[in-house]
Structure 1
Amino acid sequence: MKFSYKLNNLLGTVYKKGNLIFTPDGNSVISPVGNRITIFNLRNNKSTTLPIESRYNYEAVGLSPDGFTLLTVNEVGEANIISLISQTVVYRYQFKRKVRAVKFSPDGKHFAVCKENNVFVFKAPNSKNIQYNGFVMERVFHGAYDETTCLDWSSDSKILAVGSKDMATKLYPLDKWKNFRLCSLGSHTEGIVGCFFEEGSYDITTISRNGQLCIWESTVEPQDLIPLNEIPVNKKKKKNDDDEDDVNIADSIERTEEETVAALEQLEVNDTNNKENKMFYKRVAKHFVADEVRKNNRDALLTSAAYHKTLKILVTGYSTGEFFIHELPDVNQIHSLSISDEKIKSISLNDTGDWIALGCGGSGFLQFSGQLLVWEWQSETYIMKQQGHSSNMSCISYSGDGQMIVTGGEDGKVKLWNIHSGFCFVTFTEHTNAVSDVAISGAKRFVVSASYDGTVRTYDLKRYRNFRTFTSTKPVQFSCVSVDSSGEFVAAGGQDVFEICLWSVKTGRLLEVLAGHEGPVSSLTFSPIISNTTLVSVSWDKTLKTWDAIEKGSAHEAIELIADGTCVAYKPDGQEVAVATLDGQISVFHIKTAAQLYSIEGRNDLGSGRSDTDLITAKKTLQAKCFTSLCYSADGEYLLAGGHSKNVCIYYVKEALLLKKFEITQNHSLDAVDDFINRRKLTEFGNIALVEEREEKEGGKVQIKLPGVRKGDMASRVFKPEVRVYSLQFAPTGQHWAAATTEGLLVYSLNAGLVFDPWQLRIGITPEAVRNATREGNHIEALAMAMKLNEAALIQETIEKIPVKDIELVILDLTEDYIKRLILIISGFIDNSRHLEYYICWAQQILTLHLPKINVQQNLPALLSLEKSMIRKYEQLSKICDHNKYTLRYIERLGSLKKEIKQEEKMETESENESNADSDFETSQDV
């Protein structure tokens, strides 16, 4: 249980490609993020990532009308039906080809899939239709001449409209109807981007890639459709009915000319009625909605569209990053806005039509970037605006209380992320080159970032501004940075100049230049002990150096390493340091005696992976892999390591033992995931991945990286990024850890509610025994047994039945082992329970009675977890209190204003009465 970490959230990447969907309640947006699905709750301001991973990136997503079933299809045609209740994959299906669009019918009984030039209609699984196979095909339509691109269902789920690249929209019936005829709606000069039925009607609107908008009117209403089985069958006349035939012939002979003309007229009327009952479409309007965009950019294309059928609002997005809102059927422009430099790939409207979700994805050098916005068009405000780094995320750092993560990227940006919500709330853009390392002060006062632009910058976490910029006496590309435990000194190591610079945060002056390394300084860190300014650094010169620059200046002690040093990490107690080297080993040294304590051979644990364009085998590639990021756990017993691989390893330091290995991704859309190249790519001429395929209109579409380029290819290339862990760190609370990878910022956390993990369990300890002890008033024994069972619900039930007056006595009788676990339990209950004051009493008594006796260093994760919960609850309550305070002030002020207005009105009436009395007195005197 101690290492049962599961993926909790994916930060730093909000959208890549595919279509966005609002949930039926309109409060959440479902976004495909690579090979994972993230749900952004806009009401509660929180994001969650489903614990489901596909083998390739998702491209098409559909949600059932009840909001319980999610249909996802990746870029190679693998489809999954996901239950959003259990968050598991229920059914799987192989389309074996690329799928452009999927959509559920409004009644929830069917869903349609666009594949190549075909449309497949399946029965949708639901609670009434329980079956083993979730993909039961019902109809297939083959009418399109090119790839189908979009589809839409009529409001009664009887007719399906499908747009394709053949510049036509075709209508298909789900069942057979007497007065329905297959319709193909043309009038477009480019491929169809969107087709939309009207609410309660078969009228349809189509829009193409060049912005041509056509409005079509149907001659048949939904209630006018006649099922085929209701057609009256004409009975053939029998041969023996000679008498009737003779009578009819005689009647026809006796008809007059006037009767014959009247019969012919009636026949013409019947024919016209039959024609009107047949389904025909008439184009009533044609508009060009992209003309305004093309005034500034002639190459602008319409890339996405969405339509709200109730409000009759059409939203169109373009390759220039602009979107327009029009009102149909008059096509009056309501609003327009430019939100990005990249094209808008997906648009979605919520059920009420107030919020518009827009997804922008990058291409070429910006292929890692993704932008997700939710815009309220009536008030013209952002509900949500999130964007990841436009290039790889290179470094991360946790705050001291574990509530915040700082990330730096190769795009020169520094971002601050809230762990609880999963959103970025501040972005600093002062750096002009890639950010190489970030650090945060222990008191959570400021953030420090080092960059290859030759500067080290500090950012205030209260005013969110860059208040210090440190530079060296000569131009240096800083590759690493660290802050001491007191927050007074900042040190940074150079990559091209092999020196370490030391600055004072208060004055901003350069205090010392530490020279001694003969190669690039790859990593450095200060001692975590307060009032200890010892600094350790590793370099490519195969040395680990220990500095005490404040007292001894440039004097240092050197430890020879076997290979080039790539990373160094301090143990939380400040007695040991772990060093990762280029040969894949991790060495642990005692900081005072310089003796090597442990050695971990980790190269084979990294795991191999062969790129599509590699000319050597994965076994040979493994010899060049190493760990590039290390971090100790909060208690200092375990070591987290990652590097040039998709694996993250946790080691038990004392035994040099691998405890657990995490595979961060199975996404085959990335490179170097497998150990072998697919034989389909190996031809008689060699590896087909080494052959470039260029397309003029698509901007090159080169899939081979430039030789020697590992970070940030500035050319417009669409190569597959390689799987790698750039940086990782344990949270100070020990409850989760984060890794900056090619996929984004992955956060793994412990979920104690899903696993039975007892502690010192003995025979006779059962939930019934715990409840019996509680009923008898033996609260100490009941609490001890509940903690041994380690079930959160039972512990909470037991604690809440203890009277407030007995809290102090219960805590006094608990030993140190129980107190450590109780602190973690109480911190969790403070977050989730409404009995806030009750649990604060528990926390106060624990800290008052046991804090002087317990080992703070060993219990630091539990104490930090308690601090984190208290701070979060304080922030939540302070917002509520401020809101109530200002509301009361407003009401009080409003009441005083009304009182003043009444007094003024009273004074006016009194003055009027006095003036009237005076006038009456004067008139009486005159009389």
Structure 2
Amino acid sequence: MKFAYKFSNLLGSVYYKGNLLFTNDGMSVISPVGNRITIYDLKNNKSLTLPIESRFNYNALDLSPNGYILIAINEEGEAHVISMISKMIIHKHRFKRKVQCIKFSPDGKHFAVCKENTVFIFTAPGLLTGEYNPFVMVKVFHDAVDDVSCIQWSFDSKLLIVGSKDKSTRLYSLEKWMNFKKYILGSHSDAIVGCYFEKKNYDILTISRNGHFCIWECTIEPSDLVLYQPPLKKLKLKDSDSEDDVDLDKALEKTEKEKRISEKTLIDNANNMDNDEVRTTRSKDKIDNKDVKKLMYKRLGKYYLADEVHKSDRNAVLTAAAYHQDTHILVVGFNNGAFFLYEMPEVNMIHSLSMSSQRISSIALNTSGDWIALGSADLGQLLVWEWQSETYAMKQQGHSSNMNCIAYSPDGQLIVTGGTDGKLKLWSTSSGFCSVTFHDHTSSISGVLFSTNRKFILSASLDGTVRAYDLMRYRNFKTFTSPRPVQFSCVALDSSDEFVVAGGQDVFEIYLWSIKLGTLLEILSGHEGPVMSVAFNPNPASTELVSVSWDKTLKIWNAIENGSNHETIQLISDGLYVTYKPNGTEIAVATLDGQISFFDCKTGTQLNTIEGRNDLGSGRSDTDLITAKKSLEGKAFTSLSFTADGNCILAGGQSKYVCIYSVKESILLKKFEITQNRSLDAVDDFINRRKLTEFGNLALVEEREENEGGNVTIRLPGVRQGDMAARNSKPEIRIFSLQFSPTGQAWAAATTEGLLIYSLNVELVFDPFELEIGITPMTVKETLAKGEFSTAIIMALKLNVVVLIREVIEDIPYSDIELTAASIPRAYVERLLKFIANEIEESRHIHFYLLWIEAVLTEHGPKGNAILHLPTLILLQKNMLKKYDDLSKICDFNQYTIGYLKQLSQIKGKQKVKEIEEDVTSDNEVDEENMEAE
């Protein structure tokens, strides 16, 4: 239970490639992020990554019309049928080739899959069809000369339009019609990007890659389609079967096969024709066929949508398009980041905007047509644009390259990440969205930190600066530099938030600054190699500083009091990372030989060692010339993080595994595999034998087209993070940074895929505490009914069932809270407080649980050891702050609404008083006139 961490969310990466989708309510966007799928809830401002994982990156998605089934296909042609209710994969199917697109029919009975130049039609599983085998093939169309690029169904699911790279568009039908056969639309001179049916008719819009746009008008109405009915098959009578000469023996000897044929013919005729049609003759059918109007198309117009783009960029190419049938809005995107909105069928341009300078990969419109989702695979950017108000409903972008470092805020609500692209991003752990991005650094960021008071963050970069950012005003308020240019590889902040240190990568020195004054106080010399990691003692009473370097030394400094005086501890191998235990008594050091060593701070003696190289796991890159077993000798842990209680340590490095070790026993407790994505490099332990030939590894061979500058699969020597100069980039999987949440309920890992969050799900794990034989849910409820509240709470906490604990606590009268809290033993206080902290985040009984918190902290706060309960208190603070932020927004909104209603009532009151006065005045005037008349 303590280490039952499960993947919960993916941050730092919002879109990779493939098509975007809106859910049926139009309030959420479904985005393929590598080999995972993330759903962005725009209404509640939250993101959720589905707990499923593919072996390769997803590139084609579609959602069923009822919203219950999502079919996702990866780049290797493996299809996953995902239930949107249980969020689980319920079936898998292999197409064995890359699938370009997939589309459900509007009636939900079929879905079409495009593979190469072939279109497959399958029956959709569910109640509508009565078929529960997910992939039952109905028809296959393979008329296209080149790969199919897009597909669309008609509104009645009778016709199917397919666009191809062979510059033509084809129409197919599931059933046979008397007035329709396969139809081909030409008129384009480039690959088709989009083809769309109009609503309630069969008119078609087609768009090609060079910006040509055609409108096609259908010659018939949907009601004019006539279903093809095969003619009656008449059974010929033999001479021996005449009425005059009947042979009973021959009739009895009639074969079973002839019986089945005759029965099947009669059944088919009865099903396909009415009684009137049965009586019609074949000659009558021929006459009806001549009267049926054929389905044909006439081109109404041809437009060139790239004119506006070509004014600024002659090389612009149309890369994505989407059409909304209800509002007749067409959206097209180009490879230079520009997108345009047109009103159909007049082709009037409504709006034009540029989201970036990179290619727009996918466009989607929600059900109402108000929101446009735009994805750019090159930037990893996802936008949701509300075109009527010209505002962003969502604008998210991950790091354009790898994340180097992460840091949790003291309350666990925020995570700050620094990337190779020089950007600093702030992520919310509850919503999964990035709230702010800083662009001040001009080079790769090597270290980030949160201040203890959560008011500012620090970042060190290879550009030679350490910057401090204010989280209230979101600006860079201090910049720390060295006397001569130095590439800073690490940064640390003391517990009082007054001093900051940074270690040099090219100059082997450590620099100490004062945050308040912004001046350089000390330069600590002594290392003979690059300083890889520095850390301050977390104990407020200590000003101790430790540092490790490639010179195989660990140095303990007291720089604030004694300057450059230090104690040196010799390591067996190069030091890569150092961190303190939360109580400040021990140090953990990761070295290049794959070991984790623990030292006592006061005596400098080594306490124990963890040999972790074999736990890292092997992984062979496609271009490696050595085996995975041999490459394992060069791997090591590059990031460490203690748990909140200091009993265990989290370690990760140059592999796909994250390990949790026990510090005392020096043993492996659990190992997490962070990815199974074979689209990344060094995931498998062995190279596929298909790639090994008599000439060597095919991955080492440069593959180019006839013209120079074609597809290149080889990367530059020594490049480990993916060669951006190569035409075919395949980054290597590794873990760059790890950190436990201060609440102890989660931990985060910065990896090649993005920022992965693993958290505890206590409701799904049965983990009793000091359980006794007589304690059952029934006995707990009986004890509660007797009024023995403290005993009932203790019994429920021993069972550790969330639903039962909630029922017991909420049944206790609020007047008995103080007495019940005082009678609970100290061993159960932390568990009770942790449950209340988790419950207050989602519960609506806010005041009730606040009374519990006040009673527990008042009674047991001064008695217990605060250090032991610190993660629980941080979790409590985090959830209370989150609840406060949510309620404050509602209260502010209600305050303004009440003020508006109050002003409105005053205005109406004045108007009413004025009307009454006017009525009284008019009545008095009438009375006066009557009196004068009398």
TM-score (norm 1): 0.92
**Structure 2 equivalent of residue 282 of structure 1:** 298
Could you tell me which residue of structure 1 aligns to residue 594 of structure 2?
A: 584
Provide the C-alpha distance between the structure 1 equivalents of 2:758 and 2:722, rounded to a whole number of angstroms: 27
Q: Report if the CA contact (8 A) 1:191-1:208 is conserved.
A: yes
| SS of 2:229 mapped into structure 1 | helix
Amino acid at match of 2:576: T
The 2-side partners of 1:63 and 1:682 are apart by 40
Q: 2: CA distance between counterparts of 1:73 and 1:696?
A: 32
Distance 1:222-1:750 versus aligned 2 partners, 3 A rule = same
Post-superposition offset of 1:130: 5.9
- For 1:706-717, what aligned pairs fall within 5 Å after superposition? 706-711=716-721, 713=723, 715=725, 717=727
Instruction: Choose from 351, 361, 364 the match for 2:367.
Output: 351
Distance 2:304 2:507 in 1: 59
Contact 1:190–1:210 (CA under 8 A) maintained in structure 2: yes
Aligned partners of 1:592, 1:509: CA distance in 2, in Å? 30
Aligned: 1:629 with 2:633? no
Q: Which residue of 1 aligns with 2:677?
A: 667
Structure 1 counterpart of 2:826: 816
With over 3 angstroms needed to count, the CA separation of the structure-2 counterparts of 1:287 and 1:698, relative to structure 1, is: farther
Residue 629 of structure 1: CA displacement? 0.2
Alignment of 1:739-818 (within 5 A): 739-818=749-828
> Residue 713 of structure 2 contacts residue 726 of structure 2 at CA under 8 Å; is this kept in 1?
no
Deviations 1:464-505 (A, max 9, x none): 110000001111000000111111111111101111111111
Partner residue in 1 for 2:264: none
Cα contact 2:124–2:131 (8 A) shared by 1: no
1:545 and 2:555 aligned: yes
| Counterpart-to-counterpart distance in 2, 1:234 and 1:170 | 37
Q: Which secondary structure does the structure 2 equivalent of 1:537 belong to? A: strand
Residue 318 of structure 1 is matched in structure 2 by: 334
Does residue 168 of the first structure (1) align with residue 178 of the second (2)? no
**Distance in 2 (alpha carbons) for counterparts of 1:718 and 1:390:** 16
Aligned to 2:147: 147
Distance 1:907 1:471 in 2: 76
State how far apart, in whole Å, the 2-side matches of 1:884 and 1:508 are: 44
1:490 alignment partner, one of 489, 496, 500: 500
**Does structure 1 conserve the Cα–Cα contact (< 8 Å) formed by 2:179 and 2:292?**
no
Q: How does 1:197-596 map to 2 (within 5 A)?
A: 197-229=197-229, 274=290, 277-362=293-378, 369-596=379-606
Report the counterpart of residue 261 of structure 1 in structure 2: none
Q: Contact 1:705–1:717 (CA<8 Å) still a contact in 2?
A: no
Answer yes or no: is 1:13 the counterpart of 2:13. Answer: yes
User: How far apart, in 2, do the equivalents of 1:603 and 1:281 lie?
Assistant: 68
Residue 60 of structure 1 is matched in structure 2 by 60
Q: 1:777 to 1:899 in 2, by over 3 A?
A: closer
Q: Which runs of 5+ in 2 are unaligned?
A: 237-282, 930-934
Please state how far the C-alpha of 1:407 moved relative to its aligned partner.
Answer: 0.2
CA RMSD of aligned residues (A): 2.5
Corresponding position: 1:687 with 2:697? yes
1:391 and 1:712 in contact (8 A); partners too: no
Q: Does 1:23 align with 2:23?
A: yes
> Would the aligned equivalents of 1:35 and 1:667 in 2 still touch at CA under 8 Å?
yes
Question: Residues 88 and 101 (structure 1 numbering): CA distance in 2 closer, same or farther, change over 3 Å?
Answer: same
Q: Determine if the alignment matches structure 1 residue 605 to structure 2 residue 615.
A: yes
Alignment check: 8 A CA contact 1:699 1:716 kept: no
Distance in 2 separating the partners of 1:208 and 1:896: 61
In 2, distance between residues paired with 1:500 and 1:911?
A: 89
Query: Secondary structure of 1:623's match?
Result: helix
Stretch of structure 1 that moved more, 890-899 or 206-215: 890-899
* AA matched with 2:11: L
Give the conservation status (yes or no) of the 8 Å contact 1:150–1:164.
Answer: yes
Pairwise CA distance, 1:906: 10
Deviation at 1:547, TM superposition (A): 1.1
Instruction: Give the drift of 1:189.
Output: 0.2
Q: Alpha carbons of 1:699 and 1:49: their partners in 2 closer, same or farther (altered >3 Å)? A: farther
* Secondary structure of the structure 2 residue equivalent to 1:395: strand
User: Residue 77 of structure 1 aligns with which residue?
Assistant: 77
Q: Distance in 2 between matches of 1:475 and 1:666?
A: 42
Please list the CA deviations of residues 701-751 of structure 1 after superposition, one character each: whole Å capped at 9, or x if unmatched.
Answer: 332221123357453543210000000100001100000000000000011
Shift of 1:179: 1.2
C-alpha contact 2:715 2:726 (8 A) present in aligned 1? no
CA distance in 1, matches of 2:595, 2:218: 73
Q: Distance in 2 between matches of 1:26 and 1:231?
A: 48
Confirm whether residue 3 of structure 1 aligns to residue 3 of structure 2: yes
The aligned amino acid for 1:867 is: Q
Q: Verify the 8 A CA contact 1:417 1:425 in the aligned structure 2.
A: yes
Alpha-carbon distance between aligned partners in 2 of 1:288 and 1:305, rounded to the nearest angstrom: 14
Q: Structure 2: how far apart are the matches of 1:515 and 1:73?
A: 56
> Any idea what SS the aligned residue of 1:229 has?
coil
**Which residue, 857, 880, 887 being the options, matches 2:890?**
880
**1:508, distance to aligned residue in structure 2 (A):** 0.5
Cα distance change, pair 697–779 in 1 and its aligned pair in 2 (3 A): farther
Shift of residue 895 of structure 1? 4.6
Aligned positions, number? 883
Q: Percent sequence identity over matched residues? A: 62
Alpha-carbon deviation of 1:694?
2.9
Rate the CA distance shift 1:293–1:44 in 2: closer, same or farther, 3 A: same
SS at match of 1:611: coil
1:248 is matched with which residue?
none
2:634 partner SS: coil
Tell me which residue corresponds to 1:34. Answer: 34
Aligned-partner Cα distance in 2 for 1:696–1:457: 50
Name stretches of at least 5 consecutive residues in structure 1 with no aligned partner.
237-266, 363-368, 921-927
Change (3 A) 1:501 1:908: farther
Letter matched to residue 34 of structure 1: G
* Structure 1 residue corresponding to 2:661, chosen from 651, 658, 665: 651
The CA distance in 2 between the partners of 1:843 and 1:906, in whole Å, is 56
